[in-house]
Chain A
Amino acid sequence: MTITVEEVYETASMILYQNLDIRTTTLGINLKDCIDSDFNAFKNKVYDKVFSNAVKLVEQARILEMKYGIPIANKRVSITPVSLIMETHCTAIKFIEMAQTLDRAAADAGIDFIGGFGAMVQKGLTKSDKMLIDVLPDVLSQTDRVCSFLNVGSNVAGLNLDAVNLLGGMLKETAEKSKNAIGCAKFVVFVNAPEDNPFMAGAFHGVGEGDITLNIGISGPGVVKSVVAENRECDLTRLSEVIKRTVFKITRAGELVGRELAAALNISFGIVDISLASTTAAGDSVANVIEAFGIEKIGAHGSTLAVALLMDAVKKGGAMASGNVGGLSGTFIPVSEDEGMIDAVQKGALGLDKLEALTAVCSVGLDMFAIPGDVPAETINAIIADELAIGIINNKTTAVRVIPVPGQKAGGSVIFGGLLGTAPVMAVNPFSSKDFLKRGGRLPAPVTSMRN
């Protein structure tokens, strides 16, 4: 079996010129065995377990980067949902101390984000879940690396509107307390949250997982854009085919690195998440892929069809490449982290309504978008509830990561820097649905959940 020069060049070009990388290697760590009635002992056990495993991840990832010449962009940790392990230590001060412990363990080990400071509340809130939401503005503004999630609904549970109704106020307070409202960028609200998602800010280590698991997120919008650009004239069937082939290849690279990394760490290999994930780097944009299809700017009519085609082809290529495809495996279209998305919003091609429509066919949801700081809390809750209803009715994961920026109006922009990019502030529908949302309660599970 000889590898040809062309094949070697194709792989090398993907890495050197098209930003192919292993986007994230995320170590899922069970913290249930750290629980202790002595809170100091509990914190020490959490620190030790997170730190010792994360350090090994960073070291082994470096070795594999060298072996395969493929960058491993991020090394991260996801943990058991924190509200679960804090049930018997349910005070605000202890929650904040636990967050600081996690932040310190992550910083000391050299990892950029630790996810799982969250709760599963699709049917209701325990005291601990409620406390966790109450302390989030302080946690998200006082720590650098701790990421938070809430799962507020699922196909089989419906949507917990009472939980959603807590979030607008919490997000506005978080925004006020943190510079540039950046605390909000570390919080995601989901329905149907996968328990093995390696991508931040929504990663957590689900209760159905083993003790320690490695999950991988690959990426390559630049690679897909390149192959689309080479096939400008072909019909949709052919376009789908060329995308499938490319995604097959990049998923295989992820599978290889994931398996070897897990073996080197002597832990089980979890999943490969095949989501196309953009970064702020030039050319690493999902919007640019859509535009290479022949759409002037993402958001133009035709974009929903284009995203649907892209998403389906990505899934088919990925499913053929790996038996371990999992996590979110959608296509992310975060506004602030994708230069094509930013440009489309600034030029008026893409608004919040069309963004919501796009998430119905592809992605994980409304991600990393800024809105004016004076949008009422009830309207933020309504934005969240609408997006999550799409997930529940369509049997898919959807999520919202919204940043209400104090003092900003639609048309402004806010610079987060680094991976989080720059967010144009988007206009929000000024009419209210406050009286509808204040009904509270739970959206019943859809009839499609009755399959037994």
Chain B
Amino acid sequence: MEKELLFITVIGEDKKGIVARISNFLYEKDINIEDINQRIMGDGYFVMTMLVDIKNAAIPMETITRGVEQIGKDLALRVQLQHENIFKMMHRV
């Protein structure tokens, strides 16, 4: 079955529990994590990206977005959820 892949992007200050909080939320909602990367950017920001497959998610995308945004608020981080197509379009010719 074809996957439906989204990127979750977390931007802010590095702190304990970021991966745990988000991955726990995703596990509860039947969302599979395909890949995780993190980096400290040149401008000093901590950036983590998670590639997730929501094909079998127990909740619709809107609810997933609200869920991860809430985690972002709790941890004082910017969290964004975006379908992978936008990155393919913008960064690949």
Contact A67/B47 with A12-B11, A15-B80 known, Cβ cut-off 8 Å? no
Q: Which residues of A contact B47 (CB under 8 A)?
A: 5, 8-9, 12
**In the complex the two chains form, is A12's CB within 8 Å of B9's CB?**
yes
- CA of A255 to CA of B82 in the docked complex: distance in angstroms? 16
B64 CB to closest chain A CB (Å) equals 10
**In the complex the two chains form, is B7's CB within 8 Å of A3's CB?**
yes
Q: Does A450 contact B (CB under 8 A)?
A: no
Q: Does A45 contact B (CB under 8 A)?
A: no
Q: Does B86 contact A (CB under 8 A)?
A: yes
Q: Mark B77-91, 1 if CB is under 8 A from A, else 0.
A: 010111111111111
- CA of A361 to CA of B46 in the docked complex: distance in angstroms? 42
Q: Which residues of A contact B84 (CB under 8 A)?
A: 3
Q: Does A316 contact B (CB under 8 A)?
A: no
Q: Which residues of A contact B48 (CB under 8 A)?
A: 5
Q: Does A236 contact B (CB under 8 A)?
A: no
**In the complex the two chains form, is A1's CB within 8 Å of B88's CB?**
yes
- Considering only CB atoms and an 8 Å cut-off, how many residues of chain B contact the other chain? 30
Which A residues from 1 to 36 make CB contacts under 8 A with B? 1-13, 15-16
Q: Does B61 contact A (CB under 8 A)?
A: yes
Contact of A69 among B39, B51, B80, B89 (CB under 8 A): B80
B80 CB to closest chain A CB (Å) equals 5
Q: Which residues of A contact B11 (CB under 8 A)?
A: 9, 12-13, 16
Q: Does A46 contact B (CB under 8 A)?
A: no
**In the complex the two chains form, is A66's CB within 8 Å of B86's CB?**
no
Q: Does A249 contact B (CB under 8 A)?
A: yes
Q: Does B38 contact A (CB under 8 A)?
A: yes
Residue of B nearest to A67 (CB): B83
- CA of A249 to CA of B92 in the docked complex: distance in angstroms? 9
**In the complex the two chains form, is A69's CB within 8 Å of B82's CB?**
yes
Q: Which residues of B contact A249 (CB under 8 A)?
A: 90-91
Which B residues from 57 to 91 make CB contacts under 8 A with A? 61-62, 65, 78, 80-91
Q: Does B37 contact A (CB under 8 A)?
A: yes
Contact A253/B90 with A8-B49, A16-B11 known, Cβ cut-off 8 Å? yes
Contact of A252 among B35, B45, B49, B90 (CB under 8 A): B90
Contact A9/B92 with A66-B65, A68-B82, A253-B86 known, Cβ cut-off 8 Å? no
Which B residues from 1 to 59 make CB contacts under 8 A with A? 7, 9, 11, 35, 37-39, 41, 45, 47-49, 51
A231 CB to closest chain B CB (Å) equals 14
A336 CB to closest chain B CB (Å) equals 31
A247 CB to closest chain B CB (Å) equals 11
Q: Does A287 contact B (CB under 8 A)?
A: no
**In the complex the two chains form, is B82's CB within 8 Å of A256's CB?**
no
Q: Does A70 contact B (CB under 8 A)?
A: yes
Residue of A nearest to B7 (CB): A8
**In the complex the two chains form, is B92's CB within 8 Å of A1's CB?**
yes
Q: Which residues of B contact A15 (CB under 8 A)?
A: 80
**In the complex the two chains form, is A3's CB within 8 Å of B91's CB?**
yes
- CA of A69 to CA of B49 in the docked complex: distance in angstroms? 14
A404 CB to closest chain B CB (Å) equals 43
**In the complex the two chains form, is B38's CB within 8 Å of A68's CB?**
no
A250 CB to closest chain B CB (Å) equals 8
Contact of B78 among A8, A11, A16, A67 (CB under 8 A): A16
**In the complex the two chains form, is B61's CB within 8 Å of A66's CB?**
yes
A435 CB to closest chain B CB (Å) equals 56
Of B38, B41, B90, most buried by chain A (CB within 10 Å of CB) is B90
**In the complex the two chains form, is B7's CB within 8 Å of A253's CB?**
no
- CA of A8 to CA of B35 in the docked complex: distance in angstroms? 13
Contact of B90 among A11, A13, A69 (CB under 8 A): A11
Q: Give 10 CB contacts A-B under 8 Å.
A: A3-B51, A5-B47, A6-B39, A9-B41, A12-B9, A13-B11, A68-B83, A68-B85, A70-B82, A252-B90
Q: Given contacts A3-B49, A66-B62, could you give 6 more A-B pairs where the C-beta distance is less than 8 Å?
A: A5-B37, A10-B91, A11-B86, A12-B82, A66-B61, A253-B90
